[in-house]
Amino acid sequence: MLKGHQTWVFESKPTIIASSAVGGPKEAAGALAEDFDVLHSDIWLGQDSFEKAERKFLEDACEKAIEKSGYKKEDIQFFLSGDLINQIVPSSFAARTLGIPYLGVFGACSSSMQGLALASMMIDGGFATKVLAAASSHNAAAEKQFRYPTEYGAQKPPTAQWTVTGAGAALVANEGQGPRVTSATIGRVIDLGISDPFNMGAAMAPAGVDTIKAHFRDLNIDPSYYDIIATGDLGAVGHRIAGDLLIEDGMDIPKEIFTDCGLLIYKEEQQVFAGASGCAASATVTYGHFLNRMRKGELKKILIVATGALLSPMSYQQKESIPCVAHAVSIEM
């Protein structure tokens, strides 16, 4: 049901009956390693290209989520997935393996929540009984496509972020036990002129803020409604900017509630500059860490605001700035 201008309220509260988080070596050494279902010791996974390896990470996450649900692939009606690679190839090829009717989504790093919002809408609207929503990213594949070859000696500035190598998947259903998706706010594309691909946080923060404000405006509630409000991957720079922008607009979200997936996933000593980024940042932290905490009873209501930078390697060369979007999904126990 539409509430306000751009928010969907899911009356039937679709349930996330299973979720999974898969990561690589850096995630295994990170702060949330316990909340990953599978942790791989290298980023190649026996494949001969980074892009093929990313597909394997995604297939792993999907298969794990399906396995944990107790259902079979054939029981799932639709598969929604997105990633950062050109033409979302890892997602399409994973869909080939899974054989489930497929809708590719692209929201850059906001793909995880974009997929979850659409999956929940399909369930709530009676258009499906089980939908699998997933997202992935791969550090080396992203660096190769957007920035420089991985062995290239370019000095990264302190605003740079580290793309997470991994994938997260959630199986949403119209029945069963688990955390339930209650609403989703679809974001507008916001571009405040940042054009530096090594400073995504500053580019994405305004989009995150716009969606957060829209969510609370549409639902007519207060940030204190939630136990956690987490942005996807704004990182240290973007998260601070977002916080300041919100305060300027009269919305002061308490520090205990307001956090960022990109800041949680790694440890300080892993030297990831401004923090983690990539579709898998919000996907693995939400589908692993946060949902685990909800299942344990530690959290009752969370809002995940995944932010994405909608640039391409070519748009940057053509001197375009970076338009961004953020999608928010609320999950309640």
Partner 1 sequence: MSKKQYKKLTPEQQEYQIFAKDREPQRPIVKNCFKAFFVGGIICTIGQALQIVYIKYFDFTEKTAGSPTSATLIIISILLTGFGIYDDIAQWAGAGTAVPVTGFANTISSAAIEHRSEGYVLGVGGNMFKIAGPVIVYGVFSAFVVALIKIIIKELGVI
Partner 2 sequence: MEKFIWAFVIGGGICVIGQILMDGFRLTPAHTMTSLVVAGAVLGGMGLYDPLIKFAGAGASVPICSFGNSLFKGAMMEYELHGIIGVLTGIFEITSAGISAAIIFGFIASLIFKSKG
Residue 232 burial by CB count (10 A; 0-12/13-18/19+): exposed, middle or buried?
buried
Could you tell me how many residues of this chain bind partner 1 (CB under 8 A)?
Answer: 36
Element counts in the chain: helices (H) and strands (E): 11, 15
Least distance (Å) from partner 2 to the CB of residue 251?
Answer: 33
* Residue 193 within binding range of partner 1, rule CB under 8 A: yes
Closer residue to partner 2 in complex, CB, 20/139? 139
Least distance (Å) from partner 2 to the CB of residue 155?
Answer: 7
Which parts of 288-327 interact with partner 1 (CB under 8 A)?
319, 321
* Residue 158 within binding range of partner 2, rule CB under 8 A: no
Q: Which partner, partner 1, partner 2, none, binds residue 202 by CB below 5 to 8 Å per kind?
A: partner 1
Residue whose pair of structure tokens reads 């571009």 in the numeric block: 191
* Residue 318 within binding range of partner 2, rule CB under 8 A: no
**Residue 230, CA atoms < 13 Å, CB-side half-sphere:** 28
In the list 39, 43, 170, 236, the residue contacting partner 2 (rule: CB under 8 A) is 43
Closest CA to 286 of 247, 332, 243, 232: 232
Which parts of 1-60 interact with partner 1 (CB under 8 A)?
48-51
Per DSSP, helices labelled H in the chain are: 25-28, 50-69, 89-98, 111-124, 139-146, 200-219, 235-248, 261-264, 279-284, 291-295, 313-317
In the list 153, 250, 254, 297, the residue contacting partner 1 (rule: CB under 8 A) is 153
| Tokens read off for 75 | 């029981």
Separation between Cα atoms, residue 266 and residue 233, nearest integer Å: 12
In the list 42, 244, 252, 298, the residue contacting partner 1 (rule: CB under 8 A) is 244
Residue 290 near residue 230, CB atoms below 8 Å: yes
Binding to partner 2 by CB under 8 A, coded x per residue (else -) over 180-209, reads ----------------x-------------
* Residue 268 within binding range of partner 2, rule CB under 8 A: no
Mention every residue, 6+ apart, whose C-beta is less than 8 A from residue 51.
Answer: 85, 89, 90, 138, 141
Least distance (Å) from partner 2 to the CB of residue 47?
Answer: 12
Interface residue list for partner 1 (CB under 8 A): 48-51, 144, 148-159, 191-196, 199, 202, 205-206, 236-237, 240-241, 244-245, 274, 319, 321
